[in-house]
Structure 1
Amino acid sequence: MSSNRNATADLYSERVAGDIEGNENTPLLTNGSVPTRTHGASFASSVFNLMNAIMGSGILGLAYAMANTGILGFCILLVLVSSLATYSIHLLLKLCDQTGINSYEDLGGRALQKPGKLLVGISIIIQNMGAMSSYLFILKSELPAAIDSLLNPQSIGHAWYEDGRLLLVLVTLCVVLPLSMLPRIGFLGYTSSIAFFFMLYFAIVVVVKKWSIPCPLPHNVTTLSGAFQISNSSDSECTPKLFVISSKSGYTIPTMAFSFLCHTAILPIYCELDRPTKSRMQNITNVSISLSFLVYLISALFGYLTFYAHVDSELLLDYDVYMPRDIMVMVVRLAILLSVLLTVPLIHFPARKAAILLLFGGRPFSWLIHIFATLIILGVVLTLAIFVPDIRNVFGVVGSTTSTCLLFVFPGIFYLKLSTEPLRSFDSIGAIFLVVFGFIVGIISFSIIVITWAQNS
C-alpha cells in the first residue's frame, strides 16, 4: 500500500537532481538505485492514453481547414505542426531526464522560478478547463439530437432526453465524475482505447460516404430538423484545389496546434509508464502522433473531397444536411460524442494536478484534496457548459494563447534556460525556432479572432 502511495505522490514531486544521469535509458521514477514500483501502465495503454489526449473534437474541423488551404498546403502544414509537436515533446522529455523533474509546472519553476511555475500552472488550468467546457458544450448541443434520431426519428414531442442540460448533468454525474475520480491516469487506458476506435470509425465512415454523395451537391436538401437548405454547387467546384489562400486560412495552424496538443498529459503518462525511460516514452510519442496524423489526414482529405468548398467547420453538420437519416452517420455522430465524453476525464487529470501543485505544493497524496479539487473543477466546467450560450469564441481565444504557449513557447524557453548545451547546438537552435514560431502563430491567430469579432459586430 505504501509503495502505491509513494508512486502516486511522485506525480507531485521532483527527483533529486544528480542522483541519475541524463541517459535516455535511465528510469524516470527511482529511489536511489531501486525503483519505487515494479509495475506501471503498459506501452499500449500509454499509447491509447496519449492518442486520446491528442485526438478530440479537432478532427471535425480539419476538412474545413483543408478547404481553406488546399490539399498540398494542408499536408505541408500538418506535417510541420505534427513534427514540431513531436520535437517539443522531445525537448520536454530531455529536460525531464537531465534535471530529474517530472512535472511541467516544476520545469517552469526551475527555469523561471516561482513566476514560471505559476504561469505554466495557470496556462494548463485555463487550457484544459476551456477544452473540457467546449467538449461538454458539444455534448449538450448534439447528444439530444443524436439520441432522438436513433430512438425515435419521427418524434415531434418533447421527451426528457431532448433536454440537453439535463442530459449533460446526468452524463457528468454518471460517467465523467467517476472516471475523473481515479487517482492514476493509467486506469484510463481502457476508456482511451475505446475513444480511439470511435475516432477510427469516424474516419472510415468519411471514406465510405465519399462515394454516396454526388458532386455537384444536390439542391433543395432536407436537414435533420426538417428545414430546406439550397446548395449552389456547380461542376467547377468538384475539382480539388492544391493551394488556397484566403482570410480563413489563418485559422488552419491554430486548429492543427489544438489538434496535436497533448503536452499537459505527457509527463503524467511518463511518470506512470512501466519501465519509464526517455527512449521508451519517445517511442510512445512517435507512435501516437503518427497514428493520429494518419487518422487526421484521411478524415480531412475524404471529407474535403466529399463537400469541397461547401464543407462546414464541423464536418458532421454536412452529413446532417445531405444524409439526415443515414444509419452510419447517426451512429458515427453518437460515437464521436462518446469519444469526446471519454476524453474529458483525461483532460481533467493534468488540470487537477496543476491546481493541486499550485495550491498545496509537493505534499503527499491526499484523498480529501483529490476529491475536493475534482469536484471544484468539474463544477466550474459544468456551469460554463450549461449557462454559456456560445463558447466557441472563448475557446478560440484560449486556443490561440495557452495552446501555442504549451505546445511551442514554453518547451523552447525552458530548454534554453535549463539545458547545458551550447546555444549553437541543434536542439538549442530548434528551441529558438519553437519560441519564435509559437509567438508568431499565437499573435496572428489571436489577431484574426479579434478582427473577426470586430467585423461581425
Structure 2
Amino acid sequence: MQMYTTRATPGTPTENETTPLLTNGSVPSRAKGASFASCVFNLMNAIMGSGILGLAYAMANTGIVGFCILLIIVSSLAAYSIHLLLKLCDQTGINSYEDLGGKALQKPGKVLVGITIIIQNIGAMSSYLFILKSELPAAISSFLSPDSTGNAWYEDGRLLLILVTLCIVLPLSMLPKIGFLGYTSSVAFFFMLYFAVVIVVKKWSIPCPLPHNVTTFSGAFQISNSSDSECTPKLFVISSKSAYAIPTMAFSFLCHTAILPIYCELDRPTKTRMQNVTNVSIGLSFLVYLISAVFGYLTFYSHVDSELLLGYGTYLPRDIMVMTVRLAIMLSVLLTVPLINFPARKAAILLLCGGRPFSWLIHIISTLTILGVVLLLAIFVPDISNVFGIVGSTTSSCLLFVFPGIFYLKISNQPLRSFDSIGAGFLVVFGLCVGLVSFVVIILTWVQGS
C-alpha cells in the first residue's frame, strides 16, 4: 500500500495539514483505507491493556489529586510526542518509526529503534500471556461448582495458553494489515468499558472498613486490618512506591509503535485527520483509566492490590459481574496481543530484510518466530514481572518521550527556539529522568526483595 505524503520544500511552509499526503508530487490511485472509527478502535486497543489493572494502585501511592495531575501530564505528553512524529512523517515522507530513527541517527539509530520496539513489544506480549496463564484457570473455575475438584485439563494454565495462542492469537496475527484488527479492537474496547462500569457499580458492594475475615472462592482464608481512618481518600501521597506511578502511566499510554502503521492505512490520511484519531483515542482512554482508578481506589483505599481485580476476587468471590469482567479483561488482553505483534514483526522484517516487497513466506516465518519466543517466555519464566519491569521502564520511556524528541530536533528544520523544538527538548529530558529514576527504583526494590 502506498502512503500519501507531503514533502517540505525550501521557501514553503512546513506542511499542509488539511490535504492528503503526496508521493513524488502526485496523487496515486489508492484503495480505500481503514475508516476513522476503525483506526480509533485500533489505537485505543494499542493504548489500553493490562496497565488499567495497575492504575488504582498508582493512585493509592500518589493520592487522588497527585494521580490526576500526573495522568494529565503523561497523556498530554503522549499526544504531543505523537504530534511530533506525524509532523516528521509529513515533512520527510517516511512512514515508519524505524526509518525515522535512520533519518535522524543514520543506521545505528534505525537499528536502535528497531531493537527497542522488538524488546518492548515482546515484553508486553509476554506479560499479557503470562497474565492469561495465571488468571484463566481461576476464571474458568469461578464459573464452576465449588465442589468440583481434581486435575482437569482447564486447570492447567500452560495448556490453556497454548490453545488460545494457536486458536485465537495466531490467526489474528497472520493478518497482513493492521486495519483488519479494527473489529477485534472494538470488542476489546467495550470489554474495557464494561470493566470500568463494573468498578463503579461494585464501589457500593464492598463496605469500608473492609471485612476482617473473608474466604476466597479457592477456599483461602484472609484477614484484613482496615480501620475507619483508612476510609478517607488521600489527595497527595509521597512514598518510595510513588516512583512506580509515572512508568505505569507511560506504559498505559504507549501506542507509538502502532501510530505510523495505522496512519498508513487510514482512509484519506492527513496529519490533521490522524491527529484527531490520536486525540479521540487518548481522550477516551484517559476517561476509562481515570474512572477505573478513582473508583477502584475508593473501594479499597490503601489496601488496593497492584492488580485491581484480585481484590474483587477476594471480597466478592462468587459475584457474577466480577467473574464476567475478569473474563472480559482477559479476552481484551488476548485481543491486544495480535495488535502489538504487528509493529514487532514489522521492525524485525525491516531490520533483517530491509525494504523488500511483501512476502507471505517472510511474513509467516517472522510471525511464528515472534509468537514462539513470546509463548516460551510466558510458559517457562516463573516470574517475569521484575525482568520486564526493567525492560519496560527503559523502552517505554524511550519510545514515548526520548526518541520522538531527539528525532524532531535532528530532522526538523525549525529553529531551536520554536515552540515544538523546545517541547521536543523537554520530552527528551523528561523521558531520560523518568526512565533513569524508575530503573533505579525497580533495581533497588528487586535487590531489597531478594
TM over 0.5: yes
Residue 203 (structure 1) aligned with residue 207 (structure 2): no
Aligned to 1:116: 109
Q: 2:94 aligns with which of 92, 96, 101?
A: 101
Question: In structure 1, what is the Cα distance between the partners aligned to 2:198 and 2:177?
Answer: 34
Q: 1:369 aligns with which of 340, 343, 362?
A: 362
Q: 2:28 aligns with which of 35, 38, 41?
A: 35
Structure 1 stretches of 4+ with a deviation exceeding 2 A read: 14-22, 25-32, 151-154
Q: 2:68 aligns with which of 71, 75, 86?
A: 75
Helix, strand or coil: the match of 2:386? helix
Deviation at 1:121, TM superposition (A): 0.2
Residue 345 (structure 1) aligned with residue 355 (structure 2): no
CA RMSD of superposed structures (Å): 1.4
Q: 1:155 aligns with which of 148, 154, 157?
A: 148
Gaps of at least 5 residues in structure 1 are 1-6
Q: 2:19 aligns with which of 12, 23, 26?
A: 26
Cα contact 1:29–1:271 (8 A) shared by 2: no
For 2:143, give the aligned amino acid.
Answer: L
Q: 1:448 aligns with which of 434, 441, 450?
A: 441
Residue 360 (structure 1) aligned with residue 353 (structure 2): yes
- TM-score normalized by the length of structure 2: 0.97
Deviation at 1:223, TM superposition (A): 1.6
Question: In structure 1, what is the Cα distance between the partners aligned to 2:324 and 2:165?
Answer: 21
Question: In structure 2, what is the Cα distance between the partners aligned to 1:24 and 1:34?
Answer: 16
Deviation at 1:227, TM superposition (A): 1.1
Q: 1:166 aligns with which of 144, 159, 162?
A: 159
Cα contact 1:352–1:377 (8 A) shared by 2: yes
Helix, strand or coil: the match of 1:186? helix
Question: In structure 2, what is the Cα distance between the partners aligned to 1:382 and 1:404?
Answer: 25
Question: In structure 2, what is the Cα distance between the partners aligned to 1:152 and 1:188?
Answer: 36
Question: In structure 1, what is the Cα distance between the partners aligned to 2:8 and 2:402?
Answer: 27
Aligned to 1:3: none
Helix, strand or coil: the match of 2:37? helix
Helix, strand or coil: the match of 1:216? coil
Shift in alpha-carbon separation, 1:264–1:274, aligned structure 2, 3 A: same
Q: Deviations over 1:150-174 (max 9, x none)?
A: 1334312111111100000010000
Q: Deviations over 1:166-210 (max 9, x none)?
A: 000010000000000000000000000000000000000000000
Query: Share of identical aligned residues, percent?
Result: 83
Question: In structure 2, what is the Cα distance between the partners aligned to 1:82 and 1:17?
Answer: 29
Aligned to 1:309: 302
Aligned to 2:224: 231
Cα contact 1:30–1:36 (8 A) shared by 2: no
Deviation at 1:248, TM superposition (A): 0.4
For 2:303, give the aligned amino acid.
Answer: H
Question: In structure 2, what is the Cα distance between the partners aligned to 1:425 and 1:351?
Answer: 34
Deviation at 1:392, TM superposition (A): 0.4
Deviation at 1:229, TM superposition (A): 0.5
Residue 243 (structure 1) aligned with residue 240 (structure 2): no
For 1:234, give the aligned amino acid.
Answer: S
**More divergent stretch after superposition (427-436 vs 143-152):** 143-152
Cα contact 2:394–2:439 (8 A) shared by 1: yes
Helix, strand or coil: the match of 2:204? coil
Question: In structure 2, what is the Cα distance between the partners aligned to 1:30 and 1:180?
Answer: 29
Helix, strand or coil: the match of 2:51? helix
**More divergent stretch after superposition (94-103 vs 17-26):** 17-26
Cα contact 2:6–2:91 (8 A) shared by 1: no
Deviation at 1:25, TM superposition (A): 2.2
Aligned length: 447
Q: Deviations over 1:62-91 (max 9, x none)?
A: 000000000000000000000000000000
Aligned to 2:429: 436
For 2:153, give the aligned amino acid.
Answer: W
Helix, strand or coil: the match of 1:229? strand
Cα contact 1:29–1:36 (8 A) shared by 2: no
Residue 320 (structure 1) aligned with residue 313 (structure 2): yes
Deviation at 1:16, TM superposition (A): 9.0
- TM-score normalized by the length of structure 1: 0.96
Question: In structure 2, what is the Cα distance between the partners aligned to 1:313 and 1:227?
Answer: 19
**More divergent stretch after superposition (74-83 vs 25-34):** 25-34
For 1:371, give the aligned amino acid.
Answer: I
Deviation at 1:271, TM superposition (A): 0.2
**More divergent stretch after superposition (40-49 vs 151-160):** 151-160
Residue 390 (structure 1) aligned with residue 383 (structure 2): yes
